[in-house]
């Protein structure tokens, strides 16, 4: 674990980064948060898509009417300083902005906003094997119920129920459908399928706007693949040539099974190609994509 956590503008010892039990976000799920990875490279640690993650944090906060008392530039600098202070070579970064302790009622009035950024060493999330997905009995939250493209803490009750159900049934991860019965996403990943060399992924609308998703779409298009964002049914995934998940934690993870059906490939060639290039990019081995990395010097 890291020794320091950035908390409301200062680096504090791990054990001092504490909040009150009457924190608004604890009771009502009203936090905005992020998850980023940083990787060891020849040029020091590099944070993948730092600016995009901070953009999404600010967007998620705006969705819940939260004024983060730090600017994008300050949050970027804070993240870099946090990594410098902790001297961890690779791992995960968790920024979170919460409604803190104040008059406790649903409407957060006169409640201070607390912001923290933590980091820790972290390895593979879904493991080396092809992922086994269970189609969830839980529906991904309705776009009229909240802001589905934002990373808001309360949304993760939905995700937690889905992954618990899937793991209890012997699967690696859940895949949730949206209110129209189309594929939405996993508990912490976006989904892609490949059919006849064309790459398909569900459009924005009922999913988190994944930053790995947008990066992989760009990468695939740079490789001259056609990428189509369109509503997808489970049947299309079952009949796909390849299927994979993307996410900060999952990176690019091949899917080998959905419910009882073993897919055509366990780790198909295009998934392999994209994953190999993605891992090169995050490890600082592809100059063309250096703009996606923030080097911690
Ligand atoms: N969907 C959900 C519900 C998630 O929690 C995540 C992880 N942030 C993703 C998709 C993937 O997003 P990203 O690539 O930005 O990590």
4-120: CATH topology is D-amino Acid Aminotransferase; Chain A, domain 1 (3.30.470)
Tokens of 91: 């791992």
Protein residue whose Cα sits closest to atom 10 of ligand 1: 189
Contact 183, 174 (CB under 8 A): no
β-strand 44-48 against 131-135: which pairing, if any?
unpaired
b/e for 110-143, b at 16 or more Cβ within 10 A?
Answer: ebebbbbbbbeebeebbeeebbbbbbbebbbbeb
- pLDDT tens per residue, range 235-262: 999 999 999 999 999 999 999 999 999 9
Q: Known catalytic residue: 197?
A: no
Protein residue whose Cα sits closest to atom 4 of ligand 1: 188
pLDDT(1) > 70: no
Q: Is 242 in the pocket of ligand 1 (CB under 6 A)?
A: no
Contact 187, 160 (CB under 8 A): yes
Check residue 128 and give its pLDDT: 73
CA atoms of 200 and 250, how far apart (whole Å): 18
Q: Model-level pTM? A: 0.96
Q: What is the mean pLDDT of residues 254-275?
A: 97
According to DSSP, the residues that pair with 243 across neighbouring strands are 193
For the chain, residues classed under CATH 3.30.470.10 are 4-120
- pLDDT tens per residue, range 14-43: 999 999 999 999 999 999 999 999 999 999
Mean of pLDDT over the chain:
96
For the chain, what percent of residues have pLDDT higher than 70? 99
Pocket test for ligand 1, best of 31, 36, 55, 188 (most atoms within 8 A of CB): 188
SS3 content of the chain, % helix, strand, coil (to 5): 30, 30, 40
Check residue 10 and give its pLDDT: 97
Check residue 297 and give its pLDDT: 81
For the chain, residues classed under CATH 3.20.10.10 are 131-282
**In 3D, which of 55, 54, 50, 45 has the Cα closest to residue 83?**
45
- pLDDT tens per residue, range 133-158: 999 999 999 999 999 999 999 999 99
Protein residue whose Cα sits closest to atom 5 of ligand 1: 188
- Given the residues 4, 72, 151, 226, select the one marked as catalytic: 151
Q: Is 95 in the pocket of ligand 1 (CB under 6 A)?
A: no
Report the CATH number of the 131-282 domain.
Answer: 3.20.10.10
């Amino acid at each position: 674990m890291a020794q320091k956590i950035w908390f409301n503008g200062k680096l504090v010892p791990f054990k001092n980064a504490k909040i009150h039990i009457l924190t608004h976000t604890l009771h009502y799920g009203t936090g905005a948060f992020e998850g980023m990875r940083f990787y060891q490279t020849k040029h020091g640690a590099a944070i993948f898509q730092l600016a995009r993650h901070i953009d999404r944090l600010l967007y998620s906060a705006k969705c819940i009417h939260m004024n983060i008392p730090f600017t994008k530039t300050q949050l970027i600098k804070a993240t870099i300083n946090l990594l410098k202070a902790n001297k961890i070579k690779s791992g995960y970064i968790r920024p979170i902005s919460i409604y803190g302790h104040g008059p406790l009622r649903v409407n957060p009035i006169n409640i201070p906003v607390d912001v923290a950024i933590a980091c820790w060493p972290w390895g593979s999330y879904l493991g080396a094997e092809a992922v086994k997905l269970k189609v969830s009995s839980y529906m991904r939250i309705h776009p009229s119920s909240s802001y589905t493209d934002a990373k808001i803490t309360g949304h993760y009750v939905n995700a937690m129920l889905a992954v618990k159900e899937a793991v209890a049934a012997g699967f690696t991860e859940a895949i949730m459908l949206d209110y129209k019965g189309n594929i939405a996403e996993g508990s912490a990943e976006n989904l892609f399928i490949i059919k006849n060399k064309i790459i398909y992924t569900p459009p924005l609308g009922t999913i988190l706007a994944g930053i790995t998703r947008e990066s992989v779409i760009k990468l695939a298009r740079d490789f001259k693949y056609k990428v189509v964002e369109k509503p997808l049914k489970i049947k299309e995934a079952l009949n796909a040539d390849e299927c994979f998940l993307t996410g900060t934690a999952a990176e690019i993870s091949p899917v080998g099974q959905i419910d009882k059906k073993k897919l055509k490939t366990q780790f198909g060639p295009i998934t392999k190609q994209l994953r190999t290039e993605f891992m090169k990019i995050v490890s600082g081995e592809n100059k063309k994509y250096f703009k996606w990395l923030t080097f911690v010097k």
